[in-house]
Structure 1
């Protein structure tokens, strides 16, 4: 999606214009609400990694689980106005104090070929979200928009983001056109709306031989030319960043 072809469809969750808004586009993977006594799993047909929460009492877990699921279904509603798991979680935040543990989990499975599968998982409980005033999710980010322009990333980034993803509005950098009725929930492109001053975490992933990852990247004489160039530029002023 080039900068010339599409523009972002600006939306503002707070109802007011935010000049420092950044919109991230990508795939959040498997996700859902986590109840006591239940687990949210990610994996393949042969493997599974789960996120769990508990009251620390198995008998109480089952009781709370039943109550929570009934309450969630009532909040969710039906038909066109049916709420997503993210919307239900946000609605629960507005009903303090909430006496029962519930969480929201996001999980991405990574195929490393010879090493097998790796899973990145986030889990935030309702108590944590209320205390911190922040949400948490993860995603494979491929593009972003800022100040009315869309930009592609050079390569996908795996990120932890202090927001939940949401459906992409029509003609928002063109990524709404990547989803159709046959797109699975795990493979749907979604949108994260954040502020440029929000904190996030990016995971840099490189796969290769030890010689490439460790030796060629770090041994003297094998470092990239740009590393030596920066040393030479600073050398004439004793390592200072400025001339003063």
Structure 2
């Protein structure tokens, strides 16, 4: 019996993805299955129209030609886009937008990730973002106990399946894609949780709930070593 029904839908089917490459066998390849982030333009066509209307109102009555107004509108968009690119760049940025003050509350997280692709070209190392639900390695499929948000050094690819149209039980119709990544490549995994302070801080740090691998707890439990 097919196990395609074991995975929930995670979004609309991604369009325009390249097919996975099976040209050569890579024994250290890990295939990650998940939902790829959607690419959105900074300005939608509707927002561009609204910007043109707003600019028209601001410049009404001034001695400016109609073609110059379009030029000014394009300059404003390019400046705004460059400002956003400079603000976020290639790094993890947690942001809270305050629309009333036209401000962005920004917290930059520095991670030891290469700024450029290790293959020697000038492309950025991190190429995509996805919510990963499972993976395949050495011919076997596995599910993650909890989905993880990952910044990945590869583009998502289309899932190709057999008669049931799935690969490891994941079907593109449910919104899944696949990443082909060598196991030694660096990725960024985020553990995002949302709950009340009691659950995330107080209960999480009660005796018996803390991870035994936490550095401070391991040091506290380690026996003292006598020195001569």
Q: Please report the TM-score for the alignment, with normalisation by the length of structure 2.
A: 0.48
Which has more radius of gyration?
2
Say which structure, 1 or 2, has more relative contact order (CA 8 Å, 6+ apart). Answer: 2
Q: So what's the TM-score if we normalise by structure 1? A: 0.45
